[in-house]
Amino acid sequence: MRTSFRIFRISGIDINIHISLVILLALLVYAFYISPPPYGFADFGEMKRILLSFFAAIALFVAILIHEFAHSIFARKFGVKVRAIMLFIFGGVSMMESMPKKPREEFIVSIAGPAASLLIALISFILSFIPLRELSAFFTLFTYFNVILAAFNLIPAFPMDGGRVLRSFLADRKSYAEATRIAAEIGRALAVFMAIFGIFYNPWLILIALFIYIGASEEERIVLLENVLGKVKVKDIMTENVVSLTPEMRVSEVMTLLLKSKHLGYPVIDDDKLVGIVTLHDIINADPNTRVGEVMTKEVITVEPNRSAFEAFKIMSERKIGRLPVTENGKIVGIVSRSDLMRVKEILEALEVMGWKRS
């Protein structure tokens, strides 16, 4: 079942909504309906109350979209690929391949969202002086919301905007990995404080705190992984003696090979060309007499030997695959798996610790 849907595209960036957004929209409409000004429209007649509440809830997510779009525009200016913007129950997120590594660039990308929200707040504040009562109430609420959105995002709780701003300052004085570690620790500490505060005052803060805590830990893990795996190339860690299959082999033969070699996936070679890949998942329900060519995955994702090991890890994570054939000039020269990468990571970390102790 799909949980998110693309609604449109702006400047080459897909705008997606998660189904959880429907829940938040309903909650916002209800909150505006029962709240008095400046945080709602309880003082208006029934029909105006309903319409203003509905359009205010929609407008708030337009403001969040503009906030995220500002991040995306500046990220693309610095060469970062932005896959999409996702609007969901916690607000929105720009789905970037990575953040700029230069502190100044990360600062600009991170501050762009809150700056856009404050600009919207300023425009809304001016429009709130329109003499029509309904529009004045609408833009007053919009002003408050965008000020709160900017202020909340500037809390130095990594990976929120404020946490990224903090990392950009730290990265000017420390390594990128160390700056990330410190920012993530501060983010987790603030998340714990937010959760405790939420227990007594607002349960919604507990969910946001959980989101921040998990996000800080995950991004720290990825950056530290890049710091280690980014130092080695795929050709340095790949398995060169690749066990391969042919399209004419039978599934029963592959099962025998799986039991002997204990590898879960094999490239399929035909006339010295890579034509597919077969994994345990491909053959688990297949007839033993079926040809490999009938069950193999034909769209094979490969990696070049001179790419970094971290790039291979990113490809595997994004495509949700466990191994990558390594090809050069159209021919397979090796294979690398996720377990290979994790073992290499452990070895390199151990060597770094040993080197530190010797020094």
What is the per-residue pLDDT for 1?
A: 58
Name the most confidently modeled range: 143-152, 286-295, 312-321: 143-152
Active site (annotated) includes residue 68? yes
pLDDT for position 168 = 93
Task: Please state, rounded to an integer, the average pLDDT across all residues of the chain.
Answer: 88
User: Which residues constitute the domain of residue 315?
Assistant: 234-346
**pLDDT in the model for residue 57:** 93
Residues 265 and 149 in one domain: no
Which of 229, 261, 281 corresponds to the end of one domain? 229
- Of 203, 229, 255, the domain-final residue: 229
Structure tokens at 338: 């996720």
Distance, in Å, from the CA atom of 4 to the CA atom of 21, rounded to the nearest integer, reads 10
Cα(159)–Cα(139) distance, integer angstroms: 30
Residue 317 counted as domain residue:
yes
Contacts of 223 (CB under 8 A, 6+ apart): 176, 177, 180
Residue 171 placed within a domain? yes
Portion of the chain with pLDDT greater than 70, in percent: 97
Of 229, 264, 280, the residue that ends a domain is 229
Q: Are residues 128 and 18 in the same domain?
A: yes
CA torsion, ordered 205, 84, 65, 50, to nearest 10 deg: -80
Residue 127 in domain = yes
- Average pLDDT, integer, range 225-232: 86
Q: What is the pLDDT of residues 45-66, one digit of tens each?
A: 999 999 999 999 999 989 999 9
Encoding tokens for residue 119?
């600009």
From CA 95, how far away is CA 18, in angstroms rounded? 13
Q: Is the pLDDT of residue 2 over 80?
A: no
Q: d(Cα 100, Cα 108) in Å, to the nearest integer?
A: 10
- To the nearest whole percent, how much of the chain has pLDDT over 90? 38
CATH code (residue 271):
3.10.580.10
The pLDDT, as a whole number, for residue 54 is: 94
Note whether 34 and 60 are same-domain residues.
yes
Please indicate, yes or no, if residue 357 is contained in any of the structural domains. no
284 CB contacts (<8 Å, ≥6 apart)?
A: none
Q: Give the separation between CA 277 and CA 335, rounded to whole angstroms.
A: 11
Is position 353 within any domain? no
Report the 10 Å Cβ neighbour count for 289: 8
**Does 115 lie in the same domain as 134?**
yes
- Note whether 78 and 199 are same-domain residues: yes
Q: Within a domain: residue 355?
A: no
What is the average per-residue pLDDT within 246-258? Answer: 88
Q: What is the average pLDDT across 111-123?
A: 96
Query: Are residue 130 and residue 253 in the same domain, yes or no?
Result: no
Q: Which of 310, 311, 336, 304 is nearest to 322 (CA)?
A: 336
Q: What is the pLDDT of residue 240?
A: 86
Rounded average pLDDT over 169-182: 90
pLDDT of residue 242: 83
pLDDT band at 230 (very low <50, low <70, confident <90, very high): confident
Number of domains forming the structure of the chain:
2
In-domain check, residue 50: yes
Tokens of 232: 């080695």
Q: Is residue 339 part of a domain?
A: yes
Q: What pLDDT digit, counting tens, does each position of 328-358 carry?
A: 887 888 889 888 888 888 888 777 666 654 4
Which of 46, 68, 311, 349 is an active site residue? 68
Does 171 lie in the same domain as 264? no
Mean pLDDT to the nearest integer, 174-194: 91
pLDDT value for 359: 44
DSSP H helices in 131-250: 133-153, 161-171, 176-200, 204-229, 234-237
Average of per-residue pLDDT across 140-166: 92
